[in-house]
Amino acid sequence: MLFHGSYTALLTPFKDNKVDFDAYRKLIDFQIENGTNGLVPVGTTGESPTLSHDEHKKLVEVCIEQSNGRVPVIAGAGSNSTNEAVDFVKHACSAGADGLLVVTPYYNKPTQSGLMAHYNELIKNSSKPIIIYDIPGRSVIKMNDSTMAKLAENDLIVGVKDATADLARPTRLQNIIGEDFIQLSGEDGTALAYLAAGGHGCISVTSNIAPKLLSRMHNAWKQGDVLTAQEINKKLMPLHDALFYETSPGPLKYAASLLGLCSPEARLPIVEIEEVSKKNVKDALGKAGLL
């Protein structure tokens, strides 16, 4: 299968409100050296809403360059403006991304017909496979299964990153679209249950700081070692929760700073997390054996 296992929704390191490309390159190497199956730059975790277009494109280019074919790169290429999304799609294709992650248009609240028109416009302008990113908690609207099935009739629509927490959905989509349609969880806390329901992997926030453990969990599941997968999941659950104690990626940036991966700096309106959140993150890192 083209994309499967543990993928990391890469954070974007900042220093003095500028992208810290040195830390970014080190993070990419850290991910690959610890078994991450693939990388997803400039998604929600990468603070894409507050990146300039030039920064967005440069982060995609650097990720592709630094990973150097060692793992697949699925570039974030979404926007609530179809024209902007087309621009990001064209750029990511020309830069050499292996796939594109395209979120449903947030804020505009398009109808299902509007979603169809949006993705069809991107298909016309893409030479790379597209993963639909369905995250109603951020974008307000949810893509219906029937809409997704209709889009999947095109060969370039190859899968979904599903952040709906609907654990019946992987099985439903298998029945509607087929088992070759790639289903990646977008929620760490339910990723193992998602695999059990027919999913193929996860685009993870937690894997920014626990790539080895999550890679081991996915490998264990694939090998039929359910007990090992469950044990790792149990160990990481406090961390999954702590990283969303406040709006992501605030807690993640703090956790990454404790591990020496980057500064805790995020861009406004994401602010430094509260002391109680810091304690939760520290405790969870300790329970996971990472600190």
pLDDT single digits (tens) 60-108: 999 999 999 999 999 999 999 999 999 999 999 999 999 999 999 999 9
What are the residue ranges spanned by the domains of the chain? 5-225
CATH architecture of 5-225: Alpha-Beta Barrel (3.20)
Percent of the chain's residues with pLDDT above 70: 100
> Is residue 285 scored above 90 in pLDDT?
yes
Could you confirm whether 133 is annotated as catalytic? yes
Q: What is the pLDDT of residues 142-153, one digit of tens each?
A: 999 999 999 999
- Model confidence pLDDT, tens digit, residues 98-140: 999 999 999 999 999 999 999 999 999 999 999 999 999 999 9
Dump pLDDT digits (tens) for 231-271: 999 999 999 999 999 999 999 999 999 999 999 999 999 99
Catalytic residue among 24, 106, 128, 161: 161
Active site residue 161: yes
Catalytic residue from among 24, 106, 133, 245: 133
Confidence of residue 1 (pLDDT cuts 50, 70, 90): confident
Beta bridge partners of 6: 202
Task: Report pLDDT for 47.
Answer: 98
Euclidean distance between CA atoms 271 and 250, whole angstroms = 7
- At 269 the pLDDT is 97
- State the chain's mean pLDDT as an integer: 98
Q: Which of 124, 115, 125 is nearest to 160 (CA)?
A: 115
Residue 32: both structure tokens together:
């690959």
pLDDT at 275: 98
